[in-house]
Amino acid sequence: MPITRSDFSGPGDLRAMQAMCSRVWSPHSRFHAGQLAWNRYAQPVDPARPGSGEAISLWWADGQVVGFAWAESADWLELQIDAARPDVAEEVAEDVIAWFEDWSDAPRQTVHVMVDDPSETALVAAGFRAERDAWHFTHHVLSLSALPALPALPALPRVAGYTLRPVRSDETAERAAVHRSAWSDIGAAELTTGAYEQLRRAWPYRPELDWVVANETGELVASVIVWLDGTTGVALVEPVGCVPAERGRGLARAVTVAALHRARELGAHTALVTTGGEADDPGPRRLYETIGFRPVARTVTWTRSLD
């Protein structure tokens, strides 16, 4: 069957990429549909084209996306291939790597994929080598049947005076600002009010799963978005944050559990969260493990030098 490639051309292509993520999702899949929405709109971007210094391309067969490549920079490639289509997976993987080589001018290239990804054979053939001790992501899952009951949360006695609730439609500037503040001491946070408003229009965003914590004066001090993919019943937690001055009170944990309770009411049966590798990201990992999340899969960094 013919395989075709097209460059990213707007929200319709993102939705097609998300449809593939839903179709093939398992805890060992690289992306949840909500992750693609967050990655795309968490910073100011033209919806119709990739941002400056990045490239996105899609591979199609039988009217469906069977693979995509997202070069976040000239030296960093994220990809996902439909592992349920062994008739096309190898060819798509080879073409993705060739496409990245043609597009990138970096002397050292990095590709980030899951362990045992269908692209591994193509990566080896192209001269990439796995760096299994390098920085990586770890996927954690939780059956929502085991979600802690809200009245039993140990954190609740320490959040007296705070209000946990879904964000209001008139709080877009405040909601974007609390995210930027929460992430300001960790890395660049580019969620402007405009970017956040654009994010709210992206599937599968639901305002009833975008939760905040307000202090006694009404100021927002913590937040979480849960992305529920109704096709799979899997709810992705991405991202969680608490402003530096309010940390240590259990707010991030409490708001995450509250939002996941709402996701369960809306039909979710499994929750997913991705953190940095065990040694690289101990704080978030401990937070999610107190809720009941357990690691199930991880990524591997592959590199090659073209010098």
- Residue 58, CA distances (Å) to 131, 139, 162, 179, 194 in order: 26, 24, 45, 31, 27
In whole angstroms, what is the distance from residue 256 CA to residue 209 CA? 10
Strands 163-166 and 137-143: unpaired
What confidence score (pLDDT) does residue 158 get? 53
What CATH number labels 140-298? 3.40.630.30
Question: Prior bond to 118 cis, omega within 30?
Answer: no
What confidence score (pLDDT) does residue 153 get? 47
Indicate the SS3 state at residue 69: strand
Please identify which residue in the block is written with the tokens 């990524």.
299
What confidence score (pLDDT) does residue 297 get? 96
Please identify which residue in the block is written with the tokens 């060739």.
98
What confidence score (pLDDT) does residue 157 get? 46
- By the 10 Å C-beta count (0-12 exposed, 13-18 middle, 19+ buried), 134 is classed as middle
118 half-sphere exposure, CB direction, 13 A CA radius: 24
The residue ranges of the chain whose pLDDT is under 50 are 152-154, 157
292: left (phi over 0), alpha (psi -120 to 50) or beta: left
User: What does the chain come to in residues?
Assistant: 307
What confidence score (pLDDT) does residue 185 get? 82
Indicate the SS3 state at residue 78: strand
Q: In which residue ranges of the chain is CATH 3.40.630.30 found?
A: 4-136+301-305, 140-298
By the 8 A CB rule, do 38 and 21 touch?
Answer: no
In whole angstroms, what is the distance from residue 164 CA to residue 177 CA? 17
What confidence score (pLDDT) does residue 284 get? 80
DSSP 216-242: TTS-EEEEEEEEEETTTTEEEEEEEEE
CA 33 centroid distance within chain: 8
In whole angstroms, what is the distance from residue 272 CA to residue 288 CA? 10
- Per-residue tokens: 150: 């809200």
Task: Give 278-304 pLDDT, tens digit per residue.
Answer: 555 667 878 899 999 999 999 999 999
pTM: 0.94
What confidence score (pLDDT) does residue 187 get? 67
Sign of the Cα pseudo-torsion (286, 288, 289, 294, in order)? negative
Q: What's the helix, strand, coil split of the chain in %, to 5?
A: 35, 30, 35
As its CATH architecture, domain 4-136+301-305 has 3-Layer(aba) Sandwich (3.40)
CB within 8 Å of 5: residues ≥ 6 apart: 57, 58, 59, 60, 95, 99
CB within 8 Å of 197: residues ≥ 6 apart: 172
